[in-house]
Amino acid sequence: MSDQIKFIVDNLNKEPFRKNYNLITFDSLEPMQLLQVLSDVLAEIDPKQVVDIREEMPEQTAKRMLSLLGILKYKPPGNATDMSNFRQGLVIGSKPVIYPVLHWLLQRTNELKKRAYLARFLIKLEVPSEFLQDETVADTNKQYEDLMEAFKALHKECEQLKTSGFSTAEIRRDISAMEEEKDQLIKRVERLKKRVETVQNHQRMLKIARQLRVEKEREEFLAQQKQEQKNQLFHAVQRLQRIQNQLKSMRHAAADAKPESLMKRLEEEIKFNSYMVTEKFPKELENKKKELHFLQKVVSEPAMGHSDLLELESKINEINTQISQLIEKKMMRNEPIEGKLSLYRQQASIISRKKEVKAEELQEAKEKLANLEREVSAKTNQTREFDGTEVLKGDE
């Protein structure tokens, strides 16, 4: 109890209370004075609680304090019987009741201020269901709920901005610098206007310059449209060539439709696709997920300063040192079984890498073959345009 009273007195002597108490004077306060101290602390948390309790009925004082303590989620010790004693002690200003409340409030004043502020907007006003049958009342209640949800979203966004690392001082400096730059540009424009006004037919020249600027902007817009249409045409030609190549491949496959060759080709395709689906793509997907998780973690972290970077660098060096020590210990042990296992693992890793390299080479070869087929198709189309006849292929 003595530590609790000392904590209360120390905090009441600080800002914003400045009571100038000591342990003896505080412990000798009358119940009415002690209730006034509690009311002052509650008023610091919620400004609506600024009340002189001498002008308030004891029942009203107890009801007001109990209501705010309930909003602040203060839980008195004990069961329902102790709760009744707590209410009675709050009415009469009992020290065993008031001291724990003051201690709890002064421990978390800033947190409770935020809770009391949010309670003003987030404690929902329950409307009886029979009143909600009225269309006007129902619409008003719906607007009230929508505004409450909007307040939650805005408050969450505000808290995120407060913790995001943005400095208001830097933003103010940027704004002042942009305002100075704006003033300089305005002065420069005024000087240029005065200089132009001395030239003959300056209005006509300004009109021509304005028309020139408009035509240049129109020219840029048309050039952009032209480039977009070229890109669309290029993609359309590529799509047409792909379809033509697919058609030729299907015709060639139909001409050479021996069961053995078809089965062999299908088995090779199935093996290659199975490897891509079961081994290569899952590994790449897992690596991308790890990279995405790492980037999300980096983005969610607050802005780091130079001291934070130095601390991270020191941790990295320390971990690298530990890794080197562990590797040296492992090499000193030189266990034969572990050496054989490492040899097998190394061989398996080499084979896996060779398999991945061959799969990539096969994929590149397929893409190269498709490109060559597109080039052959393009050359064939050009030749047909020149003389109207199709060039015979090597196998024809």
SS3 of 299-353: HHCCCCCHHHHHHHHHHHHHHHHHHHHHHHHHHHHCCHHHHHHHHHHHHHHHHHH
For residue range 253-294, what is the model confidence (pLDDT) as tens digits? 666 667 777 787 788 888 888 888 888 888 888 889 988 888
Report how far residue 226's alpha carbon sits from residue 220's, in angstroms, rounded to the nearest whole number: 10
For residue range 180-226, what is the model confidence (pLDDT) as tens digits? 999 999 999 888 888 877 777 878 888 888 899 999 999 999 999 99
Task: Output helix, strand, coil percentages for the chain, rounded to the nearest 5.
Answer: 85, 0, 15
Helices and strands (H, E) in the chain, number of each type: 14, 0
Q: Tokens 């200003």 label which residue?
A: 93
The residue type of 316 is I
Is the pLDDT reported for residue 150 higher than 50? yes
For residue range 113-124, what is the model confidence (pLDDT) as tens digits? 888 888 888 888
Average of per-residue pLDDT across 153-174? 78
Q: Give me the pLDDT at residue 382, please.
A: 67
Round the average pLDDT of the chain to a whole number and report it.
81
Buried residues in 301-318 as b, exposed as e (16+ CB within 10 A): eeeeeeeeeeeeeeeeee
Q: With CA atoms as reference, report the closest residue to 369 among 233, 235, 249.
A: 249
CA dist 349 → 176, 279, 290, 315, 360 (Å): 60, 13, 21, 31, 16
Average of per-residue pLDDT across 120-134? 82
Q: Give me the pLDDT at residue 181, please.
A: 93
Of the spans 141-150, 263-272, 307-316, 372-381, which averages the highest pLDDT? 141-150
CB 72 within 8 A of CB 112: yes
Report how far residue 65's alpha carbon sits from residue 158's, in angstroms, rounded to the nearest whole number: 30
Q: Give me the pLDDT at residue 220, please.
A: 93
Report how far residue 159's alpha carbon sits from residue 111's, in angstroms, rounded to the nearest whole number: 13
Report how far residue 201's alpha carbon sits from residue 11's, in angstroms, rounded to the nearest whole number: 78
